[in-house]
Amino acid sequence: MAVDIFNIEPSVISRDLKGKYIAIYGREKVGKTTFGARLPRALFCNFEVGTNFLSGVRAQKIDKWSTFKQVLRQLEQPKAHDFYDTVVIDTIGQAYTLCEEFTCAQAGVQKLGDIPYGAGYASCKKEFEGALRKITMLGFGICCICHSDVKKVAGPDETTYEVVAPSMPTRAADVVNRLVDIIAYIDVTYDENGNAQRTFVTRRTPTIMAGSRLPYLDARIPFSYDDLVNAIARAIERQQELDGACVVDTVATTVEEKLDYAQLKEEALSLWKKLVGEGENTNAEMAARILKRVEMIFGRPMRLSEITEDQTDLYNLVLIDMRELASEQN
């Protein structure tokens, strides 16, 4: 990814849900998966099977974390944006369970607690967070679907009270809460005739965990895709009116080109020959300058030939330095 801080375009806010990061949760069969199917060009990562009665859904069954990692690799391909705008993770709790199993398998243990010094829990959280953030960095929106749970919370004077919250481990909740723009609970009430009324709750209450980064979003919104989109649009219009935010109808997706190890290696070899030379005409001083920069980047002395494909990002930093050295000679 090329870095140029002098040509960064100011951020804007879009009125639609494209590129947004949201989490919705509620009781079983309340309509969470059906809502996810309405999201723009959604790819369902089915950690639980909930799309059997939904038509036209693109769903990938995921029963192992390694399968999810394969999905992430395919999302890296530029053509993925020709098919998808949003990745739906159904459910996020089951996704974390498979991530735990993957971490245990890597370490050859039965449970995370068997890994000494709490390293298993930290490793699992790092793997889980890295996967979700990768989706966002690739330019896709995320919808995390979760079941609800009633949790006991300590109150004043040694009392406790009940709070409805997403059903997932604390470490998973920490990751999701930091990542998403909206956490919405699907509340169900009944009128005097017994008819169910479903609403999104987007503001925390004493008994419901919810929240939003949109300061003017309605605290309660009728439960439907269109109603949520319209409520977000109203909140953004209000933000534009009061705070001067720049608002557009939709935000274009920017796809960063993935670094190619073979191309970097070929260019580095070419620049080495240009800067250092070969045979009797070797520029030892320039070779030392380049290798010193390599050492600064990797934290230890290394030759260019020792850089592996797993170190492609670091290799790119070396190449940037070599290009600068080449430009100094022109």
Contact predicate 32/186, CB 8 Å: yes
Structure confidence at residue 245 (pLDDT): 58
For the chain, what is the mean pLDDT?
A: 87
- Write down the pLDDT at residue 159: 83
**Per-residue confidence at 2, pLDDT binned at 50, 70, 90?**
low
The reported pLDDT for the residue numbered 328 is: 83
pLDDT (0 to 100) of residue 10: 64
**What is the percent of the chain where pLDDT is above 90?**
48
Average of per-residue pLDDT across 89-94:
93
Cβ atoms of 297 and 286 closer than 8 Å:
no
pLDDT (0 to 100) of residue 22: 94
Q: What is the pLDDT of residue 237?
A: 84
pLDDT over 80 (residue 280)? no
pTM (2 decimals)? 0.73
- Scored b (16 or more CB within 10 A) or e, 271-297 reads bbeebbeeeeeeeeebeebbbebbeeb
Buried b (16+ CB within 10 A) or exposed e, 172-187: bbebbeebbbbbbbbb
Supply the pLDDT for residue 51.
77
pLDDT tens track for 129-171: 999 999 999 999 999 999 999 988 887 777 888 999 999 999 9
